[in-house]
């Protein structure tokens, strides 16, 4: 890289990086080139670090950055290879999940009679036709979740409550009279954590559940992760306003949709990387899974206990729990059951409504 080609090469690199899923906008690229003004462009390590501190914004970006850097500039051997667990991007499995065919040639009926909506609300998502799924997507997008609330540290002036010394003094400065003033603690939305199983056995429900997660994420502070053979955090991806774009971004990020489930291991990964530091502390945690555990159930039980100690409430949503004659005997759910606050159904729009209500009251 030399002379006049340098800026072009750098911008090209940033472009490749964006393609790899690192959200580096023009201002970050500008910061990158500005940073290189202060460093030695001929030194690979300088270019590497300048790019890493200006173009990346979170640890998930780092493996992508390393891979893109090695691919673009080559000869990564002199570089400080930061993380061994480079994650490769795979094609969008999720877009195809849960019957994406509805978007194709067959346009769904524009208006559906009220009675049809009523039927649709109760119908098992797994048994829906493509047109019904398309309709369901719109209904899910119209949900209006209300966040659960917790008491905050901050206080607001109130008519009754504890004496507010600041305001009493303020009034005394203003009027030179001691007039009592009161304050009361406010409430804030409580954090909600959604853990969505995207393994093969959950395939019919994954799309609807992620769309549900998207709607919830737009209404309250939420962390969303997918569980499969590994854990993937999709909170950032679901931050897109448009559900289609958000789901596509999430699909790009999830490398293991449609595979097996190792609930214990992925739950542990979540608690290690996010939960224990704060994401699960005092939160309402909703775990959406059918409870088919391919791994060690003792590990799952241990992690569920750990989750229960951290979280405010732990809800398990199981698509099969709404079916007649369902018994929680699947290896995973049986292991986790003693540590759950509620086991809920999650196979239809109605049950998702009930879930929202349960979360609001948590």
Partner 1 sequence: MTPVEPAAPPEPATPDDLAAALDRVGYLPDDGVATAAFLALRMRRPLFCEGEPGTGKTSLAAALATALGLPLLRLQCHEGIDATQALYDWDFPRQLLHLRALEAAGAVDAEAAEASLHTRRFLLARPLLQALERAPCVLLVDEVDRADDEFEALLLEVLSENAVTIPELGRIAADTPPLVVLTSNRTRDVHDALKRRCLYHWLEHPDLTREVAILRRALPDVTERLATRVATAVRALRDLDLLKPPGVAESLDWARALLALGRTDLDTATAAATLGAVLKYREDTRRALASGVLDRVAGSAVAG
Q: What residues line the site for partner 1 (CB under 8 A)?
A: 23, 25, 27-28, 31, 34-35, 38-40, 45-46, 49-50, 52-54, 56-59, 62, 80, 82, 152-154, 166, 169-170, 172-173, 176, 188, 191, 221, 223, 235-236, 272, 274, 276-279, 281, 306
The C-alpha atoms of residue 17 and residue 39 are separated, in whole angstroms, by 21
CB of 233 to partner 1, least distance (A): 10
For residues 278 and 323, which CB has a smaller minimum distance to partner 1 in the complex?
Answer: 278
Cβ burial 16-37 (10 Å sphere, 16+ → b, else e): ebbebbbbbeeebbebbbebbe
Nearer to partner 1 by Cβ, of 42 and 173: the residue is 173
Q: Give which of 243, 317, 312, 231 is closest to 274, Cα–Cα.
A: 231
Q: Which two tokens stand for residue 4?
A: 């006049």
- Tell which residue, 47, 81, 45, 89, has the closest CA to residue 64: 89
Residue of 221, 190, 206 whose CA lies nearest to 311: 190
127 or 178: whose CB is closer to partner 1?
178
Decide if 16 contacts 68 (C-beta within 8 A). yes
Q: How far is the CB of 46 from partner 1 (least distance, A)?
A: 7
CB of 31 to partner 1, least distance (A): 7
Comparing CB distances to partner 1, the nearer of 266 and 351 is 266
CB nearer partner 1, residue 244 or residue 278 = 278
Q: CB of 215: closest distance to partner 1 in angstroms?
A: 19
Contacts of residue 328, Cβ cutoff 8 Å, sequence gap at least 6: 291, 318, 321, 334, 337, 343
- Beta carbon of residue 51, minimum distance to partner 1 (angstroms, whole number): 11
- For partner 1, the closer CB: 28 or 320: 28
Give 77's DSSP letter: G
| DSSP structure string for 168-226 | HHHHHHHHSS----EEEEEEEEPPEEEEEE-SGGGHHHHHHHHHHHHHHHTTS-EEEEE
Quote the tokens at residue 161.
């409550």
- In angstroms, give the least distance from the CB of 226 to partner 1: 17
Identity of the residue, 48 or 205, whose beta carbon is nearer to partner 1 in the bound complex: 48
Q: How far is the CB of 14 from partner 1 (least distance, A)?
A: 14
């Amino acid at each position: 890289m030399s002379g006049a080609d340098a800026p072009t090469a750098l911008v090209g690199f940033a472009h490749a990086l964006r393609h790899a899923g690192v959200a580096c906008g023009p201002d970050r690229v500008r910061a990158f080139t500005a940073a290189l003004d202060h460093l030695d462009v001929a030194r690979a390590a300088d270019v590497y670090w300048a790019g890493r501190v200006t173009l990346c914004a979170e640890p998930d970006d780092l493996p992508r950055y390393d891979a893109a850097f090695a691919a673009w500039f080559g000869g990564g051997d002199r570089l400080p290879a930061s993380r061994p667990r480079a994650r490769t991007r795979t094609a969008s499995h999720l877009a195809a999940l849960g019957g994406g065919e509805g978007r194709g040639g067959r346009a769904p009926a524009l208006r559906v009679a009220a009675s049809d909506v009523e039927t649709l609300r109760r119908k098992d998502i797994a048994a829906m036709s493509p047109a019904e799924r398309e309709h369901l997507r719109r209904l899910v997008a119209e949900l209006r979740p209300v966040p659960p609330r917790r008491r905050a540290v901050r206080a607001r002036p109130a008519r009754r409550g504890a004496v507010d010394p600041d305001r009493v003094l303020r009034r005394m400065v203003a009027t030179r009279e001691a007039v009592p003033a009161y304050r009361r603690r406010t409430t804030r939305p409580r954090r909600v954590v959604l853990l969505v199983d995207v393994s093969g056995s959950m395939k019919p429900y994954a799309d609807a559940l992620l769309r549900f997660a998207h709607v919830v994420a737009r209404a309250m502070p939420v962390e969303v992760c997918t569980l499969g053979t590994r854990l993937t955090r999709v909170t950032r991806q679901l931050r897109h306003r448009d559900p289609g774009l958000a789901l596509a971004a999430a699909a790009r990020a999830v490398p293991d949709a449609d595979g097996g489930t190792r609930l214990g291991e992925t739950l542990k990964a979540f608690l290690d990387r996010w939960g224990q530091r704060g994401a699960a502390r005092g939160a309402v945690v909703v775990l959406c899974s059918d409870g088919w555990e391919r791994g060690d159930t003792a590990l799952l039980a241990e992690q569920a206990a750990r989750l229960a100690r951290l979280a405010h409430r732990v809800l398990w949503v199981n698509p099969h729990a709404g079916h007649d004659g369902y018994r929680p005997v699947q290896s995973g759910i049986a292991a986790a059951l003693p540590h759950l606050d509620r086991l809920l159904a999650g196979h239809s729009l109605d049950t998702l409504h009930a879930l929202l209500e349960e979360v609001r009251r948590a």
